């Protein structure tokens, strides 16, 4: 019977490769054999299309991705044998371009976050299965085991480490966006927010930072008027309608929105940035998996492989996010402290 084991392993690898090709074709990618007319392409190689259906937000780029068996071997057996990587993205209801949003075909989730998830899955020889949800339900999916790993602009925090494990892949910087004719600037001092009406998304890291600043100001006899809206579209409508002074958002989302408003009647600008991990630590965005799932290590090793072979840089460049690159992916790096996470 032991003579059948090599055959079973070969059959499993072939099935995984076939599943990978089908998955990439459905999710903004295609098999390398198809891209090359079916000739001269090694088995187990795929092409991941970065920036597909982006509505001009990205420079569409095709990346040829061989399966790295040494990295695949590091995966938990259950994930490897299943042949799929279930990627969670919390972009409902309206998305947050350029990181995650519905593409021009009105159905495919595009953006730098799902694209990186697909690139990691392809390198590991897994079919990428992208599940889009609300931000809150993203974590429900991880907790329940329905999502393997989230690529959704999740900041590493010490509080989150109690339940999740991380593989970092991008710097986490937050931005204050205001109307272009508003002279206000953050200036690196939370006290400049006193008396301002600031919108922030509920349940996010930037909300936690903002609420801590609000508590400090209240202890000084001042305050911030914190506002919540159901999605980014309604937030920006409030900003353009001057119902709020400032929106406190991830820097990539703000940078994208500023370019979109440049020729409108209500252009906006960046009024300052702040590290997502607070005053003394550079915040980091990370792939997020359930604690002790055994996924953070293989994902970090895969991202480091992509950094070394240049495909990580090509992905960020395609989405105009090169300035947020990290030099290395770390497992469970220092995060936003417990005092404000």
Residue 39 has pLDDT above 70, yes or no: no
Contact between 152 and 88 (Cβ < 8 Å): yes
**CA-to-CA distance for 285 and 339, rounded, in angstroms?**
19
Same-domain check for residues 287 and 270: no
Contact between 158 and 286 (Cβ < 8 Å): no
- Among residues 328, 302, 330, the alpha carbon closest in space to that of 120 is found at 302
Q: Does residue 335 form part of some domain? A: no
Mean pLDDT (the chain) is 88
CATH of the domain at 119: 3.40.190.10
Residues 6+ positions from 183 with CB-CB distance below 8 Å: none
Same-domain check for residues 33 and 105: yes
Same-domain check for residues 56 and 40: yes
Q: Of 235, 255, 275, at which residue does a domain stop? A: 275
Q: Does residue 104 form part of some domain? A: yes
Same-domain check for residues 211 and 294: no
Rounded (to 5) percent helix, strand, coil in the chain = 35, 25, 40
Q: Does residue 330 form part of some domain? A: no
Same-domain check for residues 193 and 135: no
pLDDT in tens, 129-160: 999 999 999 999 999 999 999 999 999 999 99
Residues 6+ positions from 148 with CB-CB distance below 8 Å: 79, 85, 86, 87, 88, 289, 293, 295
Q: Does residue 28 form part of some domain? A: yes
Exposed / middle / buried, residue 267 (Cβ in 10 Å: 0-12, 13-18, 19+): middle
pLDDT, position 330: 98
Give the global pTM: 0.77
**CA-to-CA distance for 253 and 319, rounded, in angstroms?**
11
Same-domain check for residues 266 and 137: no
Residue 169 has pLDDT above 50, yes or no: yes
Q: Does residue 68 form part of some domain? A: yes
- Per-position b or e across 249-264, b if 16+ CB within 10 A of its CB: bbbbbbbbbbeebeee
Same-domain check for residues 158 and 289: yes
Total structural domains within the chain: 2
**CA-to-CA distance for 2 and 191, rounded, in angstroms?**
70
Across 185-212, average pLDDT? 96
Q: How confident is residue 340, by pLDDT bands cut at 50, 70 and 90?
A: low
**CA-to-CA distance for 325 and 26, rounded, in angstroms?**
28
pLDDT in tens, 225-235: 999 999 989 99
For residue 227, CA distances in Å to 106, 211, 257, 272 come to 29, 11, 19, 19
Q: Does residue 331 form part of some domain? A: no
pLDDT, position 42: 53
Residue 52 has pLDDT above 50, yes or no: yes
Same-domain check for residues 72 and 140: yes
Contact between 327 and 307 (Cβ < 8 Å): yes
pLDDT in tens, 77-107: 999 999 999 999 999 998 999 999 999 999 9
Q: Does residue 340 form part of some domain? A: no
Residues 6+ positions from 298 with CB-CB distance below 8 Å: 71, 74, 75, 76, 124
Q: How confident is residue 194, by pLDDT bands cut at 50, 70 and 90?
A: very high
Same-domain check for residues 20 and 157: yes
Same-domain check for residues 179 and 30: no
pLDDT, position 277: 84
| In the chain, alpha helices (H) | 4-26, 32-35, 69-72, 77-82, 112-123, 135-144, 205-219, 232-240, 251-261, 296-309, 311-318
Q: Does residue 152 form part of some domain? A: yes
* Structural domain boundaries, residue 122: 12-171+283-324
Same-domain check for residues 38 and 142: yes
Task: Say which range, 83-87, 108-112, 255-259, 289-293, has the weakest mean pLDDT.
Answer: 255-259
For residue 193, CA distances in Å to 218, 251, 267, 322, 324 come to 12, 18, 21, 29, 25
pLDDT in tens, 15-38: 444 344 434 433 444 432 222 223
Q: Please give the structure tokens belonging to residue 241.
A: 């309608």
Same-domain check for residues 159 and 187: no
Q: Where do the DSSP E strands lie in 35-83?
A: 45-50, 61-66
Contact between 164 and 291 (Cβ < 8 Å): yes
Q: Which residues pair with 336 in a beta bridge?
A: 157
């Amino acid at each position: 019977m032991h003579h059948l084991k090599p055959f079973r392993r070969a059959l499993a690898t072939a099935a995984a490769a076939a599943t990978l090709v089908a998955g990439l074709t459905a999710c903004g990618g295609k098999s390398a054999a198809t891209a090359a007319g079916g000739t001269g392409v090694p088995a187990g190689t795929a092409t991941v299309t970065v920036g597909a259906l982006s509505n001009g937000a990205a420079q569409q780029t095709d990346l040829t991705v061989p399966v790295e068996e040494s990295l695949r071997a590091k995966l938990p057996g259950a994930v490897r044998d299943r042949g799929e990587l279930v990627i969670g993205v919390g972009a409902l209801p309206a998305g947050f371009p350029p990181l995650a949003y519905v593409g021009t075909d009105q159905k495919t989730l595009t953006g730098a976050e799902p694209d990186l998830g697909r690139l990691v899955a392809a390198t590991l020889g897994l079919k990428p299965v992208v599940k889009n949800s609300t931000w809150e339900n993203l974590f429900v999916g991880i907790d329940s085991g329905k999502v393997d790993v989230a690529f959704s602009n999740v900041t590493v925090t010490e509080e989150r480490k109690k339940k999740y494990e991380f593989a970092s892949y991008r710097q986490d910087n937050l931005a204050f966006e205001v109307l272009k004719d508003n002279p206000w600037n953050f200036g690196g001092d939370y006290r400049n927010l006193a008396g301002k009406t600031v919108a922030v998304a509920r349940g996010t890291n930037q909300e936690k930072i903002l609420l801590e600043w609000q508590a400090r100001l209240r202890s000084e006899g001042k305050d911030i008027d914190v506002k919540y809206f159901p999605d980014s579209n309604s937030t920006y409508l409030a900003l353009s309608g001057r119902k709020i002074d400032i929106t406190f958002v991830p820097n990539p989302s703000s940078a994208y929105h500023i370019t979109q408003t440049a020729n409108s009647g209500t252009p906006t600008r960046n009024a300052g940035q702040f590290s997502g991990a607070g005053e003394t630590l550079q915040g980091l965005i990370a792939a997020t998996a359930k604690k002790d799932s055994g996924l953070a290590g293989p994902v970090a090793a895969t991202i480091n492989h992509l950094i070394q072979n240049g495909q990580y840089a090509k992905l960020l460049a395609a989405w105009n996010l090169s300035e947020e690159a990290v030099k290395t992916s770390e497992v469970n790096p220092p995060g936003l402290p417990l005092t404000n996470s």
